[in-house]
Structure 1
Amino acid sequence: MQISRPTFLRLMLAVGIGFGSGVWPGAAPLRAASDPPPQPVAIQFTLDRPLDAAAAPFVMATVGGLFSAEGLAVGTNVATSSADAIARVADGASDFALVDINALIRFRDKPGSAPVKAVFVLFNQAPYAIVARKSRGIKALSDMPGKSLGVAEGDLSIRLWPSVARQNGIKLASVKLSTISTAVREPMLSAGQVDAVTGFSYLSAINLRDRGVPADDLAVLRFADYGCEAYGFAVIVSPRLAAARPEAVKGFVRAVIGGTNLAIKDPARAATEVASRMDGGSRDLELERLHTIIRDNILTSEVKRDGIGGIEPARFERSIEQLAEDVKFQKQPLLSEIFDDQFLPPIDGRLVN
């Protein structure tokens, strides 16, 4: 009896193949011993910020041999921002990048922008949040009127603040905004120079606890808990690579899904691997970040139902309407202009738990 490749892979997974085997859904097919090994496809992948736990799926895809099993030799570089990472993919300097999809939406609204699209959504919910001190009188979003809010330069979360404020009956003028640099965001809140700051829930709150701010003095007000529909980090691809090597794009996505599963199943190992690649990284801090990311941004009810990586069209439209309360689009973005789902595996290849 001949066994199909998908059936064979499921059987191998069922008996507990280890991290380094490279036998995962979408792995390279078996070849005869006499066949010369195929040349791997060289891939440049860009992170939009320095390495932290958000990149655990990519680190684990490397550690687990998932990229190599797909015939990919992946090199990683770091950009200064999502805008910088998108520019690298747009001009062909990089093949893939992990960026904030809302930055991509703004990029595509520019006249003459390259047709860069996302092919996989890692963060089903954006990590946007206000992090505040309870000792400054903030325990819920309704406490923000009359308070000062520090906003780091280039922080995309502030773009959704007008919508979140409106939905929760807060007048924008009632909150004093102060533009600050990213480097002093947590120190200023720690010192009481502002009452709250905008940022990512898995970054600022954990950084503040690391600075000695008691956990029970911090209020993490996640925009997603107050009506924000935005998606978060997504993998974008070079239009040139997508057209010339669609199977390489599919393989990259499959490997990232496998790496995400590894990070979810063994977050302690994933945090250790991430911290070991950081300059002065803390395994404990990255583990705390990863637990937060998995709980709040990756394993949402939508992902548990529909699988990881995709976008629900009606929700996307609502998120665009919310973003438009701050960003005045030249043309209302269409989902087909931002996201291409043709590189995603079927839903049974996208289930995570």
Structure 2
Amino acid sequence: MFHRALTAAATSLLLASTAMAETAINFALDWKFEGPAAPYFAAIDNGHFAAEGLKVEIQAGQGSLDAIPKVATGAFPMGFADMNSIAKFLDQNPGAPVTAVMMVYDKPPAAMVGRKSLGISEIKDIEGKVLGAPPPDGAWSQFPVFAKETGLDMSKVTVEPLGFPTREPMLAEGKVAAVTGFSFSVVLNLTRLGVAEDDISVFTMADHGVDYYGNAVIVNTDFAKANPEAVTGFIRALAKGWKDAATEPEKAVGQMISRTPASDVALETRRLQMALEGTVLTDWVKANGMGNVDPARYARSIEQLKEIYEFKNAPTPDLYFTDAYLPTDGSLTFE
């Protein structure tokens, strides 16, 4: 009896010690739980975060810029945000403890999406018409470079600020001729509202001269300095979550939808696949692995940013992104 009690006590102590050893990470997502968020939940449910000694909670966001102040203030140790917005934030808030540590959207899904039936078949067709753009939208933040590279005369474009919930409905109702947004979100939201897919015109900014990177995992640098192994472990686990999602997308979406049961499995699976094929698993990532950036392209992206944003201080790219926390054990490679 005594030995059983001693064994039970030792087991309880071991479990308590293990629980205490877990590092809690509350992660600030950029947007609500849609297909591209599924890899986070695959990493949770398939045990990848736990294997790294991490207890991860995922919180929905309200746009590509939303997570930056959350992480910079320390309210969240890590998050997911637009890379170029990080550069602007750090220029406006020198010394803020935030940086990107893992590139995820190697080819940004930022796009102008219009309807052919509303006269938008080519990019310049938006001249003389109304463009709907949510101010916190990562795609809208990239639009000035897109406009410059494609020769748009913005004096001929009426820009109407609108909220995320009304973006696709306003385009579906013909109240705006086009909108800015992530291609995989806007297109599928429009089809869900009854817009025929062959009526939708999509102009991805990365295909029209924009060298920007998209969303990346960001971290509070004070947290990272105190917990470097946790940051590397998070990156390694998330990469495994993306691999799981690429192998079994419907399963990964199901794991996400268990947290948002009102969502449509088929719709979100397609959204995930669009993100994988067009945004995450690019030729560069297949050749070089996930998470890092191409130095030459990154330098060009900073030069493009300087064309449409006046830095108060000299740009310091090393402050905006670091590869210091990327695992070097081959876990970021996609077969």
Q: Secondary structure at the match of 1:305?
A: helix
Pick the aligned partner of 1:134 from 105, 111, 116: 116
Structure 2 spans left out of the alignment, 5+ residues: 1-10
Q: Structure 2 vs 1, CA of residues 81 and 207 (structure 1 numbering), >3 Å: closer, same or farther?
A: closer
* 2:41 paired with 1:59: yes
Match of 2:328 in 1: 346
Match of 2:300 in 1: 318
* 2:247 paired with 1:265: yes
- In the aligned structure 2, how far is the partner of 1:151 from the partner of 1:317? 27
* 2:135 paired with 1:153: yes
- In the aligned structure 2, how far is the partner of 1:123 from the partner of 1:256? 13
Q: How does 1:26-175 map to 2 (within 5 A)?
A: 36=14, 38=18, 39-175=21-157
1:80 is displaced (CA, Å) by: 3.6
- In the aligned structure 1, how far is the partner of 2:315 from the partner of 2:329? 26
Q: What value does the CA root-mean-square deviation take over the aligned residues? A: 2.0
* 2:195 paired with 1:236: no
Pick the aligned partner of 1:226 from 198, 208, 218: 208
CA deviation string 1:249-308 (max 9, x = no partner): 111110011111001111111122222222511111111110110011101111111111
1:63 is displaced (CA, Å) by: 1.2
The one-letter amino acid paired with 1:194 is V
8 Å Cα contact 1:107-1:113 kept in structure 2: no
The one-letter amino acid paired with 1:302 is W
Q: TM-score w.r.t. structure 2 length?
A: 0.90
* 2:194 paired with 1:212: yes
- In the aligned structure 1, how far is the partner of 2:73 from the partner of 2:82? 18
8 Å Cα contact 2:110-2:205 kept in structure 1: yes
- In the aligned structure 2, how far is the partner of 1:218 from the partner of 1:240? 45
- In the aligned structure 1, how far is the partner of 2:170 from the partner of 2:220? 39
CA deviation string 1:209-230 (max 9, x = no partner): 0000000100111111111111
Q: Which deviates more, 128-137 or 316-325?
A: 316-325
The one-letter amino acid paired with 2:273 is H
CA deviation string 1:51-105 (max 9, x = no partner): 1122122111011100001111112223444444222222222111111222212
Q: Which deviates more, 237-246 or 166-175?
A: 166-175
Q: TM-score w.r.t. structure 1 length?
A: 0.85
1:112 is displaced (CA, Å) by: 3.5
- In the aligned structure 2, how far is the partner of 1:76 from the partner of 1:165? 35
The one-letter amino acid paired with 2:334 is V
Q: Secondary structure at the match of 1:325?
A: helix
8 Å Cα contact 2:288-2:333 kept in structure 1: yes
Structure 1 spans left out of the alignment, 5+ residues: 1-32
8 Å Cα contact 2:64-2:215 kept in structure 1: no
Match of 1:331 in 2: 313
1:351 is displaced (CA, Å) by: 1.3
8 Å Cα contact 1:274-1:286 kept in structure 2: no
Aligned residues: 320
Match of 1:286 in 2: 268
* 2:200 paired with 1:189: no
- In the aligned structure 1, how far is the partner of 2:313 from the partner of 2:191? 42
Q: Percentage identity across aligned positions?
A: 38
Q: Structure 2 vs 1, CA of residues 261 and 190 (structure 1 numbering), >3 Å: closer, same or farther?
A: same
8 Å Cα contact 1:159-1:327 kept in structure 2: no
Pick the aligned partner of 1:275 from 257, 272, 289: 257
Match of 1:176 in 2: 158
1:175 is displaced (CA, Å) by: 2.3
- In the aligned structure 2, how far is the partner of 1:178 from the partner of 1:82? 19
